[in-house]
């Protein structure tokens, strides 16, 4: 389940566990129920749920408790919008990767001591000497790193195309 990996990477292990529990129960659940089941504090559960809700992964229904007069929130996975949320997240990652590869293509030199990287222009401005540690700059070959980024970008672009087709076919 790739969404679980995405949630873990974005929000951390605790959020992954909370999301998995809601998914496993496959019904609406209160934050208190989740806290009891997962042996976590109510406040910690609520914080995670609010983060997940802000990104659209979960949604809540608010009901006033007649006895206490407090609001009780019933949480559920937002299954209707998840494919679009994941698609948008992938598009955002794709933009970041494209910016990264543009940056990588401009890097030509590195300081062997402090590992700071320089473009051709920066190296020329500093007369091919590191301004931080006065070490001579070395020319570097980033073709392998650029190749891996290109492959990752191609894979992500194909996933985005496939997911857009799936979303469109569901909505028709």
Annotation: CATH topology of 2-78: Arc Repressor Mutant, subunit A (1.10.10)
Parallel/antiparallel/unpaired status of strands 29-30 and 107-110: unpaired
Report how far residue 41's alpha carbon sits from residue 32's, in angstroms, rounded to the nearest whole number: 8
Q: What are the DSSP calls for 130-155, one per residue? A: -TTT-PBPEE---HHHHHHHHHHHHH
1 pLDDT band, cuts 50/70/90, is: very low
pTM higher than the cut 0.85:
no
For residues 35 and 75, give the distance between their C-alpha atoms in angstroms, rounded to a whole number: 13
Crossing angle of helices 143-171 and 82-106, in 10° steps, is 160
Residue spans in the chain of domains classed CATH 1.10.10.10: 2-78
| Alpha-carbon distances of 58 from 61, 62, 82, 108, 150, rounded to whole Å | 10, 13, 9, 45, 33
Task: Report pLDDT digits (tens) over 30-68.
Answer: 999 999 999 999 999 999 999 999 989 999 999 998 999
CB 47 within 8 A of CB 40: no
For residue 152, pLDDT over 50 is answered with yes
Query: What is residue 172's predicted lDDT score, i.e. its pLDDT?
Result: 63
pLDDT at 170 over 80: no
**pLDDT tens digit sequence for 119-149:** 999 999 999 999 999 999 999 988 999 999 9
Render pLDDT for 78-108 as a digit per residue (tens, 0 to 9): 988 888 888 888 899 999 999 999 988 988 8
């Amino acid at each position: 389940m790739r969404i679980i990996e995405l949630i873990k990477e974005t929000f951390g292990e605790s959020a992954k566990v909370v999301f998995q529990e809601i998914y496993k129960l496959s019904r609406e659940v209160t934050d208190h129920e989740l806290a009891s089941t997962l042996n976590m504090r109510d406040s910690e559960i609520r914080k995670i749920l609010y983060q997940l809700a802000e990104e659209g992964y979960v949604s809540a229904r608010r009901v006033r408790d007649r006895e206490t007069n407090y609001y009780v929130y019933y949480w559920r996975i937002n299954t209707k919008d998840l494919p679009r949320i994941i698609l948008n997240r992938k598009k955002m990652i794709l933009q970041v990767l494209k910016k990264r590869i543009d940056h990588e293509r401009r890097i030509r030199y590195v300081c062997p001591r402090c590992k700071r990287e320089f473009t051709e222009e920066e190296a020329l401005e500093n007369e091919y000497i590191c301004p931080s540690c006065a070490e001579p700059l070395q020319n570097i070959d980033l073709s392998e790193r650029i190749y891996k980024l290109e492959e990752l970008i191609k894979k992500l672009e194909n996933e985005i195309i496939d997911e857009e087709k799936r979303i469109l076919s569901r909505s028709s």
